[in-house]
Amino acid sequence: MPFLQYMPDHEDYTARAKRRLESEQLDKSLPEGFPTKLAGGLVWDAESVAREFDFNYHLTAHDLEEIHNALHHFKGKTT
């Protein structure tokens, strides 16, 4: 089994997918009783997610100061 790193690597992923497709008989059907389509209020797609949710976070001056101080702390500097 290949080593899976914490940070995803697209090249490793595509190579692993190619190896599996070449060497294994992968099942392409859903398990018995599993719905073929999901529906409901918690289901979203690429078009509706941006329309329905705002994932932007606006940093305040306090947020920026906290980030700045943390960066200096981890670099071993004092503020």
pLDDT tens column, 3-55: 667 788 899 899 999 999 999 998 888 899 999 888 887 888 878 888 888 88
In a domain, 5, yes or no: no
- In angstroms, the CA 10 to CA 62 distance is 36
What's this model's pTM, rounded to 2 decimal places?
0.36
In a domain, 1, yes or no: no
Domain total in the chain:
1
In a domain, 4, yes or no: no
In a domain, 19, yes or no: yes
In a domain, 55, yes or no: yes
